[in-house]
A and B are shown apart, each in its own frame.
Chain A
Amino acid sequence: MLKNAFLMLLSLAIAIGGGGASVWYALKIQDGVGAIRIGQWTAFPDIGTPAADPYSKARVAREGVLALGRAEGLSFVAENDAAGDQLKRECTYRIEGGFPTARFWTLYAADQSLGVVETGKPRLAALQSYEVLRQADNSVIISVGHHPMQGNWLLTDGSGRMYFVLTFYDTPIASSTGLSDVSLPRIVKAGCDA
């Protein structure tokens, strides 16, 4: 009798503990279903829409996100550079290449929660397309680092993991047909502060 009770408790513990923990884990990892990857950049075009999968819906409810609508824009997040290494706040990077069609775009350096990196200076860790210098072929080269650099400079500060968030506003790529042949800029590591 006691053995039976023990086995029942064991089953219940595994069911409730395992079920709960697996949901918590699935919601914690950034990656997920419905992601679209272009180079190092990831977007979730369906997040925050009624068509989203149950995992995205749960994440939206838990984090209180109000996702951008299709007519507003589309956000891409990068967590690795072109070599596949994690982005670090103490390193310098070059973001170079062409940008897809949009009315304008913004780029910012983000921390784990995807909020903008605090620089402690009046200059934000953010850039937008109206203020960048362009190459002759309309591509853009952006230098990311702690110290001022010539050309387009995205200021970062601190140390630890970093993410880049690139958002295109009023863009045809937000409709899923436009996403197939989009190319996004490359992220190349230039060096790290020791």
Chain B
Amino acid sequence: MRNVLAALRRLFHAVLLGLVGAGIVHIVVLLLVPEFSERDAWSRLSMASDLYRMNRLDAEAGGAPVVKSVDPLFYATACRFDLEEGMVRIKAPGNVPFWSVSVYDRNGHNIYSFNDHTATGGKLDAVVLTPAQMIDVRKDLPEDLQGAIFVEAPIDEGIFVIRSFVPDDSWKPIVSRFLDESSCELQDS
């Protein structure tokens, strides 16, 4: 009898220890998921294209969308960049009903966003750079960067996404061209 009770108590101890351990494992796994995920936006994009290459996110361009769940009435394109190599400039010509852009860090967190109302004359011309590069650029602002929107981001690797609204079918070619002609370039500084 005594033996059975002792065994039960030890079993109870083991289960309790297991539950406490489960709590710890839960927290550790939760915090490690973003570090080790191979399905995050960055990994998916890097399988699809190189750094500084625009890559369409909607299904319109053929094939399954690289990054899921963009609004069906929207087209989108994205490029990856690395600010350690220098600042990056994003431009897109033409006029569309609405565009908005977001800068994401390596983990897919939205760092900064703006839309066409922010830009001069609705033209998309933006430069993403680190605060240190910003100081350098401020000293001597190149002529052709005067109209650009400067996005100061304290990151190295990141993703730039342009989204554009397609009100109806007649806008499809125009919006498609707007996104296909957008560029994502490493600026020499």
A-to-B contact residues, CB < 8 Å:
3, 7-8, 10-20, 22-23, 26-27, 48-50, 52, 54-55, 57-58, 60-73, 103-104, 106, 108, 113-116, 124-126, 128, 130-131, 165, 167, 169-170
18 pairs, CB–CB < 8 Å, chain A vs chain B: A12-B21, A15-B19, A23-B30, A23-B33, A50-B105, A50-B109, A58-B33, A61-B40, A64-B41, A64-B108, A65-B68, A66-B57, A66-B67, A66-B161, A72-B100, A104-B165, A113-B68, A131-B167
Q: Which residues of chain B come closer than 8 Å to A49, judged between CB atoms?
A: 109-110
Which of chain B's residues 52-105 have a Cβ closer than 8 Å to chain A?
A: 57, 67-69, 71-74, 78, 98, 100, 102, 104-105
Given the known inter-chain contacts A15-B18, A124-B73, A131-B167, please indicate yes or no for A64 contacting B102, CB distance below 8 A.
no
A103 x B40 contact (CB < 8 A): no
A104 CB to nearest chain B CB (Å): 7
- B110: contacting residue among A16, A48, A55, A170, CB under 8 A: A48
A73 CB to nearest chain B CB (Å): 7
Mostly, the B contact residues are mixed
B100 x A73 contact (CB < 8 A): yes
**Interface range for B:** 35 or more
B108 x A65 contact (CB < 8 A): yes
Question: At the interface, yes or no: B17 with Cβ under 8 Å from chain A?
Answer: yes
Q: Which residues of chain B come closer than 8 Å to A16, judged between CB atoms?
A: 21-22, 25
Q: Which residues of chain A come closer than 8 Å to B19, judged between CB atoms?
A: 14-15, 18
Tell me the complex Cα distance, A128–B71, Å: 11
A52 CB to nearest chain B CB (Å): 7
A169 x B98 contact (CB < 8 A): yes
Given the known inter-chain contacts A19-B26, A48-B110, please indicate yes or no for A72 contacting B163, CB distance below 8 A.
yes
A14 x B33 contact (CB < 8 A): no
Q: Which residues of chain B come closer than 8 Å to A68, judged between CB atoms?
A: 102, 110, 113
| Chain A residue, CB-CB nearest to B112 | A69
